[in-house]
A = this chain, B = another copy of it.
Amino acid sequence: MTPPAYTAMMAHVKQTRALGQVAGLLSWDQEVMMPPNGAGARAEQAAVVEAISHQRRTDPQLGDWLHELEAARLNETEVANVRLTRRSFDRSIKVPMALAEELARTAAHAQGIWAQAREANRFADFAPILTKTIQLKRQEAACLASDGRSAYDVLLDDFEPGMTVAVLQPLLESMRPRLSALRQKISESGAHQPSLQGPFATENQLALARKLADAVGYDWNSGRLDLSVHPFSSGTAGDARITTRVDPDEPLGCLYSTVHELGHALYEQGISDGMDFSPVAHHVSMGVHESQSRLWENQIARSRPFCQWLYPHFIDAFGECGVSDSEALYRAVNRVETGFIRTESDEVHYNLHVLLRFELERDLISGALDVVDLEEEWNTRFLRDFGVSVPDAANGVLQDVHWSVGLFGYFPTYSLGNIYAGQLDQTLRMNIPDLDDQLSTGKTDDVLAWLRENIHRQGSLHAPDVLMQAASGAPVSTEPLLNYLETKYADMFGF
């Protein structure tokens, strides 16, 4: 028998969740649809929804229900919902309203200053507000760290529940030597890497992006594709929208960012199965979310067999444009090049970018690194890891928005996503022995069905590491990812 307190609490939580979805729509609309002069009213609208949400998340009645339910006999789903509600409630009541408001205000302010500083290419313009942001994040972490955890562990936990530096650091750092060696080998191989010749008409890019959505099993009755400055995914299971961007000179940015967002959206479309609005019907972590986007983007859509399927559609959309067969397309979409910008980087360089940010932000939060030394430290470490010197702040320390809006602890989830994706790919290949044959005909429904069952439908029933271990049959490890990368590029570049 479900206790009445559980039913009452779930009704409360359901309404709060619906409000959160409303906030998501306000934000989607702002990025995709809203005319410029709507900004003033939109800020008021978002503020009032956030104020009411905060009030509901800290409602003392929740504390009473939780107290009662933590002593009650409940089934597995109910236990998980109580655990997740407790997590959110504690998170919300421990940070004083005044601090939460100052964090939000500072983030809004700092984002503008960051954008201007990047435009002016001057880190010193951004440094003061970054220092203030870090102080506020430390204060926030102190409120939450009543159990003695370090500030960075607390911040990390917001994005990857249960993750700690003690687990994360060796995991990430173990990747650096093999990735650096691989980077070095590729760069020394001097192999020819085909590049595409345009132009690539916008409508043809979008038509092919839609074809890719069809190919991976995206449900158009539960989503839509639009344009925005930065691609993103948002929404709910029945309304998991994605966006993309189009550069008429370069189609791969559109196509592969679309597949990336499709990976996120497939996860959302698959989470809910009659458990809408409850805490378990929610993605479990940013790392797991990223594992879905990266798996579809890289291990699936950048694979040789998938490129064999893609090739005729690609030629159909753009003409030959410099790639004379599917192998050339495969090499073009897997081009490796040392660059300064994380978001443009290939599979080999990507995690080196993340590693750099992880170590710097960890030290900024602990105080081991001072903001005044950040730019120099960034540049020194970049030269060490990438073998080239950062030319300026815009190509270095000022390139990412994250720190300006207080997203400390977020970067590592990008690499965790890659690591998880490596494990899932290995497991998928064991479970679907003819996967390559399937992909070469554009067949992905076995992949999706496996992910639906082993990842999506699990929602937040288990912690991320438990979920990944259950799905992949092994503890979290970088081996599958590194093996995949080394094998792939050794084959491609012949070393």
Q: Mark A1-39, 1 if CB is under 8 A from B, else 0.
A: 000000000000011001101100110010001111111
Beta-carbon contact of A33 and B35 below 8 Å: no
CA distance A237 to B39 in the complex (A): 11
List the B residue with the shortest CB-CB distance to A16: B48
Q: Which among B21, B34, B41 is the interface contact of A41 at CB below 8 angstroms?
A: B21
Q: Kindly list chain B residues whose C-beta atoms are within 8 Å of the C-beta of A345.
A: none
**Taking A22-B26, A29-B25, A52-B52 as contacts, is the C-beta distance between A41 and B224 under 8 angstroms?**
no
Q: Kindly list chain B residues whose C-beta atoms are within 8 Å of the C-beta of A38.
A: 222, 235-236, 238-239
CA distance A99 to B19 in the complex (A): 24
Q: Which of A222-265 contact B (CB under 8 A)?
A: 222-224, 235-239, 241
Q: Which among B15, B44, B221 is the interface contact of A18 at CB below 8 angstroms?
A: B44
Q: Which among B15, B19, B44 is the interface contact of A277 at CB below 8 angstroms?
A: B44
CA distance A18 to B40 in the complex (A): 11
CA distance A428 to B237 in the complex (A): 53
Shortest Cβ distance from residue A440 to the other chain B in the assembled complex, whole angstroms = 31
What band does the interface of chain A fall in when counting residues whose beta carbon is under 8 Å from B? 35 or more
- A contact patch SS: helix
Beta-carbon contact of A35 and B276 below 8 Å: no
A49 touches B (CB below 8 Å)? yes
Q: Which of A29-67 contact B (CB under 8 A)?
A: 29, 33-42, 44-45, 47-49, 51-52
Beta-carbon contact of B33 and A45 below 8 Å: no
**Taking A41-B276, A44-B18, A48-B15 as contacts, is the C-beta distance between A239 and B25 under 8 angstroms?**
no
Q: Mark A172-192, 1 if CB is under 8 A from B, else 0.
A: 000000000000000000000
List the B residue with the shortest CB-CB distance to A41: B236
CA distance A19 to B44 in the complex (A): 9
CA distance A19 to B47 in the complex (A): 10
Most B CB contacts (10 A, CB to CB) among A40, A47, A276 go to: A40
Q: List 9 A-B contacts (CB under 8 A).
A: A18-B41, A18-B44, A22-B45, A34-B239, A35-B239, A38-B235, A41-B237, A41-B238, A41-B239
A residues near B (Cβ < 8 Å) are 14-15, 18-19, 21-22, 25-26, 29, 33-42, 44-45, 47-49, 51-52, 219-224, 235-239, 241, 276-277
* 4 nearest CB pairs, A to B: A38-B239, A37-B238, A37-B222, A18-B44
Seed contacts A18-B44, A18-B47; 4 additional CB < 8 Å A-B pairs: A22-B49, A35-B224, A35-B239, A41-B236
